[in-house]
Structure 1
């Protein structure tokens, strides 16, 4: 597989599932297997959170027209990967009391390194790094 993954996703609920499949397949291939180990699963979770947040929060009802997209990029350097999820939506400050919600960035920080959220006039980019490697015996079949 390519040392780079770039996927453009429409802003719709089904894109989160596609991001999980594409990211999991790509990361597992970098490990030299067709199965996902716990490390790969953690990074897939992180990407899924970033994609889901982008779809849900960056566009609101305006995203339903299909004009906006989420871009997922990954770059592999040895056993490290850099993942980036970007949107072209509008930044919204999180509520002071998110209730039972608002834990996505914290989840990403728990499983990845160097997590950055960079809002700007042309959208928001969430980037982070992770380590991958062969994990024989710990792998479970990819879904």
Structure 2
């Protein structure tokens, strides 16, 4: 089985980070992803914010729940399918899934996965004994080519 931290090879991904699963890393990765998206993908402000919020929710879930007080790693990979303009985001960890009964949650918690599903065009969550892999797809994301950046 492939390493759940890196769900695709680096040559397949346009943006790849693996780092410690904590709140600081979540904030830094969100900023780095925002910069990358702004320079590499043509998005309107609403789509950019939707992607950043959905990714933030997935990363936050790893930082808060995957390792339950232990240190661990999380991976973030983003690639743009140039053929159809789909942005594919993978968030991975080596932790364990924590099932929580929604009825036992306060009203202020438990909205991350519904948000990811609402903001993306497709979200899949694979839970394995080796970690969790969240994949989100966002349609209508035009990829900026290097020659377009050079002429700008």
TM-score by length of 2: 0.76
Matched, 1:90 2:100: no
* 1:76 corresponding residue in structure 2: 80
1:31 to 32, 38, 41: 41
Aligned positions, number: 127
Indicate the SS of the match to 1:62: coil
Alignment of 1:38-53 (within 5 A): 38-53=46-61
Unaligned stretches of 5+ residues in structure 2: 1-10, 144-152
* Structure 2 CA distance for aligned equivalents of residues 55 and 82 of structure 1: 21
* 1:125 maps onto 2:125 in alignment: no
**Paired residues of 2:102 and 2:110 also in contact (CA < 8 A):** no
User: Displacement, 1:13?
Assistant: 1.2
- Give, in angstroms, the shift of residue 93 of structure 1: 0.8
> 1:139 corresponds to which residue?
none
**Partner residue, 2:23:** 13
Instruction: Find the aligned partners of 1:72 and 1:88 in 2 and give their Cα distance.
Output: 13
List runs of 5+ in structure 1 lacking aligned partners.
135-143
Alignment of 1:61-72 (within 5 A): 61-63=69-71, 68-72=72-76
- 2:41 and 2:87 map into 1 onto residues whose CA distance is 11
Return the alpha-carbon distance in structure 2 between the equivalents of residues 71 and 11 of structure 1. Answer: 9
TM superposition shift of 1:18: 1.1
Q: In terms of mean alpha carbon deviation, does 39-48 or 96-105 score higher?
A: 96-105
Mapped partners of 1:84, 1:19: distance in 2:
13
Runs ≥4 residues deviating over 6 A:
none
